[in-house]
A and B are shown apart, each in its own frame.
Chain A
């Protein structure tokens, strides 16, 4: 059978600001047979999105297809003029972008946008297109298919919006669908539903697909074959099973290794020392306080935690679970309504203004986005040197010496000192971000999703660095992440948050043991595994309704009740679940006995 999509020796070049050309895609060739899905995998800058867009004959502003051929069926895409390309796009080739929230027009109803391409290409009347759209909604398992089209994009959840964008693409029954990281911005529990509906839609329509992602585990569920890209070149093309079990290329191997983070635990013994950081009865939120002293929009409720010296606490939960707010409250950046934060037994004042310089020094926070966490106009040595001058009064050669030590500690060459953040790679920026926090010699380091914005291979190196720092300088850390795998790999204890409340606290090595909180189980079951067929089997293990956390649920009862597969009617929705202490460092907040779970 001849391939439906054939890309031969594709070159894409971009014009730089100084007028010179740089080649983004350097002679890429691949073919996809009808009804098959090919995965394009690579880190940022590998040209995967550029290639996917070129299949539609599209290049981003300033780029052009400078060589090679793209053929879809009998059509030479690279030979088409603008009107012919317009007929092709949205009709025969459709595109699903990464961020549905940014791709929808917020001022028009969903239905108007979903049927738009059908109307533009004149393949259905408005009434027919609406009927068809509802059928597509049903096939994608979108809730309330009859009425959801009347809503506006902000009125539906992120996972639903992503599926609605798929409906937008599928409405014209395209031969080819290009998926550009469609689940990257979603929580794992939502991702699993979206992946399932994509997979069903592809199978039912015999659609040919190109699936762009950086996540090997995701692509293993969807794709029939995988092309590994690096620096605009193909490193390896193989069937999914072959690539996962027997990768040929070195780079493919490193991708595989990074996808399954090794357990890096240093195995610090359960400490009997007094905790460095203690949080008790913490209630925090936004929008000021009401008459009872509760915040109008509560984000965190009744949080208790303690971190012993040298240990690492992982905090996991979906977006909206309040995990970042927890770090901000501890750092004094967000107000606290009730409860206390204690550092080495001493109660910390709530706000930065009230805390002493030394108290501020002892808690340092590292943010997720190194791009925005480093001042682009300041050199690296001044970024790292500022805490040294500010907290320790170091100047001149003493400061420079310490800066060099910190660069060395974070495995950065000392030559980066004079450069600006814009000249550094993403991984290097994150190292500078860490070095600046370490410069203050903190007692506690709060890491807020520090690896989420990085490519897997780079993220693995940062995790190694954090583990090394823990071992070498006895750093105490609180590590916030949405990724169970990451937290499990580097933390001693794990705190599972749901809707701003503690669901479970457990030692990291107990996470594979049975008897977990239903939400922990859902999280664990939702993490894609690196084996084909996992997605099909996952149905029996997890029940993700795909509904996001509702922060305005009434306070009575368990917050997880509406998503919980093990809920007890008339109990879970009325009575707050009890906190069960299950031995040292293990807490579960659930009506069920641990043995039942």
Chain B
């Protein structure tokens, strides 16, 4: 019985993740109302059968807005994370496999980048280029690239020092083969855990930027923007401000728990 409960509990985080990523594609379709249409004059109304998650500050249906917002939060975060982890991975592998001047140049350049506070960096870029979804994705990707590079490089240099990599180099294999066939399969675990962690950071930073009004622009709204626009509802205890915050929490915590359950026990087992 306890084992069964444990199994069910273990399935909750991945299910939530799947649900939110399904919403990226079908959210607007299954939303009960038009997310941008005013439904009810009774702003900040509580939960009701008609509006399960209440009404926002303009009288729009909150459930529909959260389902539609998943597209921005989870979608942008996913693309930005893939970009930053992907490029961080390639650069980190290249630095560790090649060593020498390339490693030195990349490491010092990315160290310089990592020293810029991430929110300030985001603010400056958005101020300079305006806020659009491509700018947001690129900014988020650049901000998290150095961290990912550091992780990949530190794991990969240990693998690159092993004898099978030396054997491959002695055989005359080129840099790309050594990186992708010899080193990459042996660092996949840490890289994927890092991917999950990075994704959470990106969601949180995107939400903070939107909360500050620099992220996704109205009338479209991601979850961070939903929290911000309904912040005055806090005084009334309106679900409109709580629910998007819970949505952010449910996604990030689920990702974290899922990554831990996949890679945690194995890593500890060694």
Contacts and interface: CB of A to CB of B under 8 A. Distances in A.
A31 interface: no
B172 A390 contact: yes
B166 interface: yes
Nearest to B165: A375
Interface stretch (A6-14, A130-138, A364-372, A461-469): A364-372
A488 to B, nearest CB: 27
Given A17-B269, A378-B185, A373 B167 contact: yes
Given A367-B163, A369-B163, A373-B163, A333 B186 contact: no
Nearest to A436: B167
A407 interface: no
Interface in B164-206: 164, 166-173, 181-182, 185-186
Contacts of A365: 167, 170
Contacts of B185: 375, 377-378
A360 interface: yes
Interface string A379-397: 0000000110011000000
A376 B167 contact: no
Nearest to A374: B164
B186 A367 contact: no
A387 B171 contact: yes
B237 to A, nearest CB: 48
Given A17-B269, A367-B166, A375 B172 contact: no
Nearest to B162: A372
B169 A352 contact: yes
Contacts of B170: 331-333, 352, 360, 364-365
A272 to B, nearest CB: 31
A413 B139 CA distance: 55
Number of contact residues on B: which range applies?
10 to 19
Interface in A35-80: none
A296 interface: no
Contacts of A331: 170
Nearest to A369: B163
B166 A333 contact: yes
B260 to A, nearest CB: 17
A360 B163 contact: no
A355 interface: yes
A333 B169 contact: yes
Nearest to B183: A375
Contact of B171 (A367, A377, A390): A390
Contacts of B166: 333, 367
A357 interface: yes
B194 to A, nearest CB: 18
A360 B164 contact: no
A440 interface: yes
A378 B186 CA distance: 10
Given A367-B163, A369-B163, A377 B169 contact: no
Interface class of chain B by DSSP: helix
B180 to A, nearest CB: 12
Interface in A323-355: 331-333, 352, 355
A373 B172 CA distance: 16
Most A C-beta atoms less than 10 A away, residue of B164, B166, B186: B164
Contacts of A361: 171-172
Contacts of A436: 167
A333 B163 CA distance: 11
Contacts of B186: 375-377
A331 B169 CA distance: 10
B37 to A, nearest CB: 53
A17 B264 CA distance: 13
A386 B172 CA distance: 12
Contacts of B167: 365, 367, 373, 436
B172 A440 contact: no
A372 B171 contact: no
Nearest to B167: A373
Contacts of A376: 186
A569 B64 CA distance: 96
B163 A352 contact: no
B62 to A, nearest CB: 46
Interface in B34-70: none
A372 B164 CA distance: 6
Interface string B97-135: 000000000000000000000000000000000000000
A360 B172 contact: yes
Contacts of B163: 367, 369, 372-373
Contacts of A440: 171
Contacts of A357: 172
A333 B171 CA distance: 10
B261 to A, nearest CB: 15
Task: Report, nearest first, the 7 A-B pairs whose CB atoms are least far apart.
Answer: A377-B185, A373-B163, A360-B172, A367-B163, A372-B163, A375-B164, A372-B162
Interface of A: 17, 331-333, 352, 355, 357, 360-361, 364-365, 367, 369, 372-378, 386-387, 390-391, 436, 440
22 contacts: A17-B265, A17-B269, A331-B170, A333-B169, A352-B172, A360-B170, A360-B171, A360-B172, A361-B171, A361-B172, A365-B170, A367-B166, A369-B163, A374-B164, A375-B164, A375-B181, A375-B182, A376-B186, A377-B186, A386-B168, A386-B171, A390-B173
Given A375-B185, A391-B171, 17 more contacts: A17-B269, A333-B166, A352-B172, A360-B172, A364-B170, A367-B163, A367-B166, A373-B162, A373-B164, A375-B181, A375-B182, A378-B185, A386-B171, A387-B171, A390-B171, A390-B172, A440-B171
